[in-house]
Amino acid sequence: MKLTTTKYSSLLTCCLILLLGNAFAAEPTAWVINANGETLSRINLNSSTVDNDLVTLGSDVLSYPNQIIVHDTLAYVVCSGTDEIQVIDLNSLTTTGFISTGAASNPYWMAFLDGSTAYVTSFVNNSLIKLNMATGSIVGETLVGTSPEGVLIRDFKAYIAVTSFDPGTYIYGQGKVAVYDTDTDQKLYDINVGVNPQYLAVDPAGRIHVVCTGDYWSSFGMIYVIDPTVDLVVDSFSIGGSPGQIAIDPDGIGFLAAGGWDVDGYVYTYNSLTGELLHGPSNPLVVGFGCWMAVPYLDSSVFVGGMSNVVTPIDSAGNAGQQFSLGNGPVHLDFNYQPGDLTGDFVVDIADLVFMADWYFTGGSEPAYPKWRANLNGDFFYDISDLVYLVDFMFTGGSRPLVGPAWVD
Amino acid sequence: MRRLFVSVHKSFYLIVVAVLLLSISSDLSAQSNIRIKGSVTADDDGSPVRNATIRIDGTAFETTTSGDGHFSISDIPEGVYQLMVTAPGFDPYPSVEVEVVADISRTVHIRLRRKIYPLEGIRIRGHRQPVTREMTVIDRRQIERTQAAELSEVLEAVPGVEIHRTGPGGQAAISIRGSTPDQVLVLIDGRRLNSASGGAADLNSIPIDVVERIELYKSGASAKFGPNAMAGAVNIVTRAASITSPRSIETGFSRGTWKTYRSNFSFESNIPGTGISHSINYERKSTAGDFSYTYHVSPGDAVYEGTRINNAFESQALFGRGYLSKGSFKADLSVQYYDAANGLPGKVSQQNEDASREDKRIQGNSGIEYRFAEYLTARLSAACSENIQYFSDRSGPVLNQYETRYTERGVDIKGELVTNLLPNHQITLGGQYQKNKLNHEDLMREVYATGVTRRTMTSLFATAQHLFDISRSKLIDVVTLNASLRYDNSITEPEKKLIRFPRPERRRNVRTESVSPLIGLTVTKGERIRLTGRASWGKSLRLPSINALFWQSDARSAGNPDLKPERSEQYEVGLEADCRLAWGTIAAGTIFYHKDISDMVVWIQSSPDGLFKPQNIGAAEVSGHEDYVRFNSFDDLLQFSYINSVTHARNRQTGYNYDKVITYTPAYVTTFRIGLNYRSLRVAYDIRRVGRRYALPGNEKWYDSYSLHDLAVSGQFTLNGNWHFELNGRIDNLTSEEYVLIGQHPMPGRSYNLGISIKYELKGNKK
C-alpha cells in the first residue's frame, strides 16, 4: 500500500512540476509596532530595508500598543491605552477599523482561535473577552482571575497567565494559569505557578512554558512548565532577574527579554527541554538597552529589541545578526508567514506542493516553524483536504490558502 | 442643549443692542444741576485714569473718577474755581481755573503725567516700562481692557505663555516658553500657590476682580524667588482699596454656555483721616460643563466626536485685605479662602463620571514697611497657609480606583532692607525662612501613603541696581545694570518609613544648597522716539518634588532620594522701540531667548530591578523669539496689537527622542487684537492662531494648528453719579474651532457669556 502511494505521489509530483500551476509570492516581512511612537514599522527581510511611521496606531494618543498579529494581509494590534483592537490592511497601509474591547478594559494580549474568533485578556476587568473579528464585536466575556496578561490557545483550550496583581494593595498574590475551554467558553480551572506569570510559549515537545517574572523585589524569574495533556505543572526552574516576553525556537532554546534599563539590554536563554540555563543574569546576551521583545522567526533566529529602538535577530548560540533601526520603542512584531508556504521561502508554488505530498505520502519532514502554514484550508487539522485546497489554488483558480489556527501543530 | 444655545444666542444680541443704546445714551443721563464734568486720562497713552481725585480748592467739593475716567461735580455755586487733580501713580496736575456760570455745565478734560519712580537722584527719561525687561507687568487697566472673565485668559495673551486646561470649568495651569506648569512658580502676594501634589498652580482659583496687577517673569527667576521658579514666575498682586477711593459696593452676575454661572460681591472702604482702607471680595462660580466635541489626531483621517461628561465645577473664593498708610509706616493684612470641587472627566477613550477633585486653601498674609530715612526702607512680612487637595474615584475596576489627600501647611517669613545710600544706586538685602509640612494620605491603599514630609528652606538674597546717565554721549541716555544673587538651603525630612524597593532601607533626609545668579543690562536712548535694548543672563533651579524623592515604593515604582535639583541656564536679548505721535503711541519690539535645562527628572525603568524610578537624565534646549507691534490712540478710541511668539523646544536627553520637539509646545502662537472704545462702549476682538502641538515624545502624532476668534462687548453708564452699571457679553471660539490642549482632552466649541455688574459708590461727592 505504501509503495503504491509513493509511486502515485511521485507520479503526481512529476506531472505537477511539468504543469507549473498558479503561484503566490510575498516579500518576507516583519511588521513591528512601536510602543512609544505608536506607529507601525516594516522590515523587509530580503533587502534588509526598514520603513517607519507607516500607520498611526490607536484611535488617539496614548494608545499603548502591546501586541501585533499578522494574518496574511491584515494586522491586528492590541491597543491597551485606547481599549481597542486596530485592524490594518497591510497592502494599502490603512486602518480598516477599530474593534472596541470596552471602555477602560485595558486589553493586554490576544490569541486567535481560528480565522474569525479571537480572545483577548482584559487586565482591568480580570476577564477574557471573546471577539468576533469578522463582525468586530464582543461576543462574550468571562472572569478568569485577577489582572490577567498573556494568553495562548492550544487544543481548544486557552491558557491565561493570571498575575494576581492586587490593584487594591499593589501586591502580587498566587500566580496562576487559568485554563479556559473555547468550546463551551467557560473557565475550567486554575493551575498554580510562580509569582507574576506574564507570558506563555510552547516548546518543541508541546509543553507550555510560563514566564513568572517575580515581584521585582523578593522573588525573581522562574519558568513553570505545564503539560497541556494533563494540565499539570511538570517542571519548574529558576532563571533570575525579571524576565518578560518569551520565544522558544524550533531547537528548543528559550529566549527571554530581560530588560536592562541603563546602558545595555539583556536576553536570557535556556534549554526548554532540559531546563538548563544557558545565559542568565550573570552572563546575559547583551543587546540594546530596555529589551522587552522576543519573537521567534522561522527556524533560524529570535528577534529581540526594545527601548533602544533597535531590533536584532540572534540565534541560539547568541550570535547577533544585522540590526534594524526601528521607530520609537519597538515592543512586538509578527511576520507575514504565508499559508501554504511549507518550505519557508515566502513563496507558495509547486515546491510547496511537492513538500506537502512528500510529507503526507512518503514520510518526508514536517514543515518548519510555524507549522500552521501547512493548514491551508483554515480548519483545525492537517489532512488531505489541505492538499486538495493547494491543488485547487494552483491549477483550477481556487482561492488563496487561508490563515488557520496558529496553535494547530 | 440646543434650546439653551438658541436662548443664549438671542439673549446675547439683545444685550449687545441694549449695551449700545445705553452706552450712546449714557451722557443723556447727566443731571441738569451738574456744573463741572469731564475726564481724566493718562498723558502717555490716553487711557482713562480710575480713582483720580478732583478737588475744588478752597471748598469741600471733591469727587473721584469712575472706571472709565469720568467725573462730575454738581450743585456748585457760580464763581471761579481752581481744580486740583491727583491720582495714584501720576504726578499732581497743576491747578486749572474753571468758571461756573448759571445753567451752564463746564467740561474739563485733564491729562495726567505718569509718575516716574527714579532711583535716588536720577531722572529716568521716557515714560513706559520696556516689555523686554525681565519682568512684565500687567496692571489693572490692562486687565480690564482684555475684558477677560478669568485670570488665565489675561495671561494667555502674553507672548510665550500657554495655558493648559482640561475643560471649560476645570483647572488652568501656566506654561512659559515650553515649560511644564510645575516649573513655573505662581505666587499670590508673594506666597506660593503651586499645589503640593502635582506642582502646578490653578490660576482660576484667583478671582480676576481681586487682581491689581500681575508680575510675570518669563525667564528663570530663582535669583528672585528661589527654587521652583526655574522656568519663570508669576506674582499676582491683589487689590487693596485706595485710601482716596470712595466707599463702594459692587456686585455682578453672569451666565454662560453649559449653565455656567458667576456671581461676585465686593466692598471697598476707608476710614478718613486714619490712613486705613480695606476691601472684601467674594466670588462664586459653577458650571455643568458637559459639552460635545469633535477633533482628530494627525496623521490620520479619523474624526473623534462625542460628549464630554463630568466637567461640573463649583468654587467660591473670599478675599479680604486691609491696608494702613501713615507717614513712613505702611501695614498690610490679607486673608484668602478658596474651595472648589470639580469632576475629572478622564481621557475621551476612558471617560469617567465618578472621578472628582476638591481643593481648599486658606492663607493669611501680613506685612509692614517702614521708611527710616530717604535712603533706607525696611520690610517685614509673614504668611501662613493651608492647602488641601483631595482626589477620588472609587468606582469601576479596582486598578482605576484611588482616593488620596494632600494636606500642606506652611509658614513664610521674609525681611528685606532697601537702601539708596549711594547716588544712582539701590541695594536690597534680605532673608527668607519657609517651612512646609506635607501630609500625603492614600485613603484607599494606606500602606502606600508617603506620610508627613517637612521641608525647611532658609534663604539669603541681594539685589543691586545702578543707573548711569550718559546722555551727554549723545549715543545712549541711560544704562541700567542690575544683579541679583540668592542662596537657598533646604532640608527635606520624610517620615521615617521603610522603603522596600530597590532594597530595604530607612528613608533619609535630603539636603540641597544652591546659589542662583541673575545679571541684566538695559540701555535706552531717546524720549519721543525711544529705543531700549536689553540683555540678561541667569541660572535657576527646581527642587525635586516630594513625590519624586519619597514615592512609597510598590511593585512597579519607587522614589529616588538621590535626585538632584533640575537646573537651567538662560539668556535673552531684546530690542524695543516706542514712539509717541500726536494721535497715539506705537510700540514694537522683539526678544530672543535661549535656555538649557539639565538634570530634568524623568521616570524610567532602571536596572537591575526594572522599577520605574525618577532619574536626573532629562535635558532640553528651548529657544525662540517674541515679537510685537502695538498701537494705541491717545483718546483710547482704537487699540491694535500683533503678538507673535515662536518656540523651538527640543529634547536633549541622550538616546531618547533626541532633538524631538517637546510635547504640547506649539511651534508658534500669533495673536491679533483690535480694541475699540467709543464713549462707554468697549469692543475687543481677538484672533489667536496656535501652531501644531506634538502629542508624543517621538513626534509621531500631533494635534493640528487652530485659530480661535473671541469677541467681547461691554458698556458702562452712570446714574446720579453714584450708580455705575456695566453690561458685558462674550463669545469665545466664535468659529467653533476644534482643538485639543492636552492629549485626549478636547476643548469645547463656541460658547457665550453674558453679565451685568452694578457698583454703588456710597460717597460720590464730599461736601
- DSSP string of B589-642, one letter each residue: EEEEEEEEEEEEEEEEEETTTTEEEEEEEEEEEEEEEEEEEEEEETTSSEEEEE
CB atoms within 10 A of CB B116: 12
For residue range B629-674, list pLDDT tens digits in order: 999 887 778 999 999 999 999 999 887 788 999 988 999 999 999 9
Beta carbons of B606 and A261 less than 8 Å apart: yes
The reply to whether omega before A370 is within 30° of 0 (cis) is yes
The reply to whether omega before A65 is within 30° of 0 (cis) is no
Beta carbons of A60 and B347 less than 8 Å apart: yes
For residue B608, the chain A residues in CB contact (below 8 A) are 241, 281
CB atoms within 10 A of CB B107: 11
For residue range B300-326, list pLDDT tens digits in order: 777 888 898 888 999 999 999 998 888
All residues at 6 or more sequence positions from B72 whose CB lies less than 8 Å from its CB, including other chains: B30, B31, B34, B36, B37, B38, B63, B721
All residues at 6 or more sequence positions from A405 whose CB lies less than 8 Å from its CB, including other chains: A112, A113, A114, A153, A372, A375, A380
* Between A372 and B424, residue with greater pLDDT: A372
B678 strand-pairing partners: B681
* Cell reading at B468: 548711569
For residue B742, the chain A residues in CB contact (below 8 A) are none
For B658, name the nearest residue in chain A, comparing CA atoms only: A328
For residue range A69-107, list pLDDT tens digits in order: 999 889 999 999 889 999 999 999 999 999 999 888 899
Distinct helix (H) and strand (E) counts, chain B: 5, 44
Kindly state whether B556 is in contact with chain A, defined as any CB-CB distance less than 8 angstroms.
yes
Task: For residue A261, give the 3-state DSSP assignment.
Answer: coil
Residue B21 has pLDDT above 60, yes or no: no
Closest CA to B354 of B395, B408, B307: B395
Residue A9 has pLDDT above 70, yes or no: no
Confidence of residue B501 (pLDDT cuts 50, 70, 90): low
Residue B11 has pLDDT above 60, yes or no: no
Task: For residue A401, give the 3-state DSSP assignment.
Answer: coil
Q: For chain B, first and last CA: distance in Å? A: 54
A352 strand-pairing partners: none
Give the closest-approach CA distance of B218 to chain A in angstroms: 30
pLDDT at B36: 80
Residue B23 has pLDDT above 50, yes or no: no
The mean of the pLDDT values for chain A is: 89
* Cell reading at B53: 481725585
pLDDT at A50: 96
Q: Contact at 8 Å (CB) between A190 and A232?
A: no
Give the closest-approach CA distance of B309 to chain A in angstroms: 14
Report the distance separating Cα B643 and Cα B518, nearest Å: 27
pLDDT at B624: 95
Report the distance separating Cα B708 and Cα B706, nearest Å: 7
Confidence of residue B118 (pLDDT cuts 50, 70, 90): very low
- DSSP string of B178-197, one letter each residue: T--GGGSEEEETTEE---TT
Kindly state whether B296 is in contact with chain A, defined as any CB-CB distance less than 8 angstroms.
no
Beta carbons of A59 and B302 less than 8 Å apart: yes
Residue B9 has pLDDT above 70, yes or no: no
Q: Contact at 8 Å (CB) between A35 and A329?
A: yes
B518 strand-pairing partners: B484, B538
3-class SS string, B143-164: HHHHCCCCHHHHHHCCCCEEEE
The mean of the pLDDT values for chain B is: 83
All residues at 6 or more sequence positions from B201 whose CB lies less than 8 Å from its CB, including other chains: B173, B174, B181, B184, B186, B193, B194, B195, B234
Considering only residues 206 to 245 of chain B, which have any Cβ-Cβ distance to chain A shorter than 8 Å? Answer: none
The H or E element containing residue B548 is helix B546-550
* Cell reading at B656: 531618547
* Cell reading at A45: 527581510
Report the distance separating Cα B281 and Cα B210, nearest Å: 7
Q: Which of A51-55, A297-301, B51-55 has the highest mean pLDDT?
A: A51-55
* Between B589 and B448, residue with greater pLDDT: B589
B139 strand-pairing partners: B213
pLDDT at B3: 39
Confidence of residue B609 (pLDDT cuts 50, 70, 90): low
Task: Report the pLDDT averaged over residues A227-247.
Answer: 94
Confidence of residue B428 (pLDDT cuts 50, 70, 90): very high
CA distances to A126, A226, A245, B644 from A147, in Å? 5, 20, 17, 50
Closest CA to B536 of B480, B610, B488: B480
Q: What share of chain A is helix, strand, coil (3-state, %, to 5)?
A: 10, 45, 45
Least confident of A54-58, A148-152, A373-377, B470-474: B470-474
Helices marked H in B222-357 — which ranges?
Answer: 222-225
Task: For residue A390, give the 3-state DSSP assignment.
Answer: helix
pLDDT at B504: 61
pLDDT at A332: 95
Give the closest-approach CA distance of A326 to chain B in angstroms: 12
Report the distance separating Cα B501 and Cα B515, nearest Å: 33
- The distance of Cα B114 from the centroid of its chain, to the nearest Å, equals 23
The H or E element containing residue B5 is helix B2-25
Confidence of residue B627 (pLDDT cuts 50, 70, 90): very high
Task: Report the pLDDT averaged over residues B185-195.
Answer: 88
* Between B695 and B16, residue with greater pLDDT: B695
CA distances to A302, B695, B696 from B703, in Å? 37, 7, 10
ipTM passes above 0.90: no
Residue B499 has pLDDT above 70, yes or no: no
Task: Report the pLDDT averaged over residues B478-491.
Answer: 93
Q: Contact at 8 Å (CB) between A190 and A177?
A: yes
All residues at 6 or more sequence positions from A263 whose CB lies less than 8 Å from its CB, including other chains: A289
Residue B203 has pLDDT above 70, yes or no: yes
For B500, name the nearest residue in chain A, comparing CA atoms only: A217
B671 strand-pairing partners: B643, B688
Task: For residue B495, give the 3-state DSSP assignment.
Answer: coil
Beta carbons of A167 and B611 less than 8 Å apart: no
pLDDT at B341: 93
* Cell reading at B674: 483690535
Where do we find the cell 507687568? B137
pLDDT at B692: 93
pLDDT at B103: 62
Least confident of A395-409, B370-384, B669-683: A395-409
CA distances to A312, B76, B77, B236, B650 from A308, in Å? 11, 85, 89, 45, 19
Report the distance separating Cα B211 and Cα B292, nearest Å: 33
Q: What percent of chain B has pLDDT over 90?
A: 40
Report the distance separating Cα A212 and Cα A209, nearest Å: 10
- The distance of Cα B725 from the centroid of its chain, to the nearest Å, equals 26
Helix axes A2-19, A350-361, angle to 10 degrees: 180
Task: Map out the domains of chain A with their CATH numbers.
Answer: 5-24+339-395 (no CATH), 27-335 (2.130.10.10)
Work out whether strand B34-42 and strand B106-112 pair parallel, antiparallel, or are unpaired.
parallel
Task: For residue B220, give the 3-state DSSP assignment.
Answer: coil
Residue B44 has pLDDT above 70, yes or no: no
Give the closest-approach CA distance of B499 to chain A in angstroms: 11
Considering only residues 337 to 366 of chain A, which have any Cβ-Cβ distance to chain B shorter than 8 Å? Answer: none
Kindly state whether B608 is in contact with chain A, defined as any CB-CB distance less than 8 angstroms.
yes
Residue B604 has pLDDT above 70, yes or no: yes
Q: What percent of chain B has pLDDT over 70?
A: 87
Q: For chain A, first and last CA: distance in Å? A: 26
For B499, name the nearest residue in chain A, comparing CA atoms only: A217
Task: For residue A344, give the 3-state DSSP assignment.
Answer: coil
Q: Contact at 8 Å (CB) between A254 and A270?
A: yes
Confidence of residue B390 (pLDDT cuts 50, 70, 90): very high
DSSP 8-state class, residue A320: B
Q: Length of chain B in residues, anyone?
A: 767
For residue range A314-352, list pLDDT tens digits in order: 988 888 899 999 888 899 999 999 999 999 899 999 999
pLDDT at B636: 75
For residue range B409-420, list pLDDT tens digits in order: 999 999 999 998
pLDDT at B115: 59
Helices marked H in B635-675 — which ranges?
Answer: none
For residue B448, the chain A residues in CB contact (below 8 A) are 170
